[in-house]
Amino acid sequence: MRSIIDKNNPGNSEETLIYISKINIVWKICMLIATVIVFICNSECKEVVLILLAFGIFLLQIYFLVKSIKRIDEIQFRINSKGIQYKDLPLVPWNNIENERAVTEYTSDDNSNNYFIYHIIDSGKVMRFNLRKFNISKRELQLALMRQRNSFNT
């Protein structure tokens, strides 16, 4: 069961669980439908290479769609007063994490992406994840990080 963040009382949640966004699955279904339309439109075509290419893309999209649907309830991140855990990796404690944040980066063509970034002190690794893949907004993530880091510090 997915946890719900109470935006009016963020101190109410013991931990924040982040999952893959359902929008990604809807997008993959739309791409699958588009591929079927292209396949049907080109089925009258005598170009065997084009038909095989469309069919191959169709099969590939089915594979990725099924894979995403199987992973929809897998926890991607667990953020609590002990630290941050990514998927099935060991939990990284707060005393081994620095500079955790949610940031917006702008590209040259006026597009922007939100990222979840944190540094693991011991290994020197910088963990960076595009929030578009997950079911949490930048603001919700900022609240969760602040709340859980403060719980650790008290």
101 and 57 co-located in one domain: no
pLDDT of residue 4: 46
Return the structure tokens found at 52: 């095989």
pLDDT in tens, 2-38: 444 444 444 456 889 999 888 878 888 888 888 778 7
Residue scoring higher pLDDT (35 or 145): 145
CA angle 147, 153, 154 (to 5 degrees): 90
Query: Judging by beta carbons within 10 Å of its beta carbon (0-12, 13-18, 19+), is residue 79 exposed, middle or buried?
Result: buried
| H-helix segments, 1-154 | 22-41, 48-70, 138-153
Q: Model pTM?
A: 0.72
Give the span between the Cα atoms of 70 and 117, in whole angstroms.
26
146 and 86 co-located in one domain: yes
Give the span between the Cα atoms of 81 and 152, in whole angstroms.
5
86 and 112 co-located in one domain: yes
Domain assignment present for 11: no
Number of domains in the chain: 2
Query: Judging by beta carbons within 10 Å of its beta carbon (0-12, 13-18, 19+), is residue 15 exposed, middle or buried?
Result: middle
27 and 57 co-located in one domain: yes
Return the structure tokens found at 93: 């404690």
In this structure, how many other beta carbons lie within 10 angstroms of the beta carbon of residue 100?
Answer: 21
| Domain that includes residue 44, residue range | 22-70
pLDDT of residue 1: 40
88 and 65 co-located in one domain: no
Least confident of 75-84, 106-115, 120-129: 106-115
Domain assignment present for 148: yes
Contact 14, 3 (CB under 8 A): no
96 and 126 co-located in one domain: yes
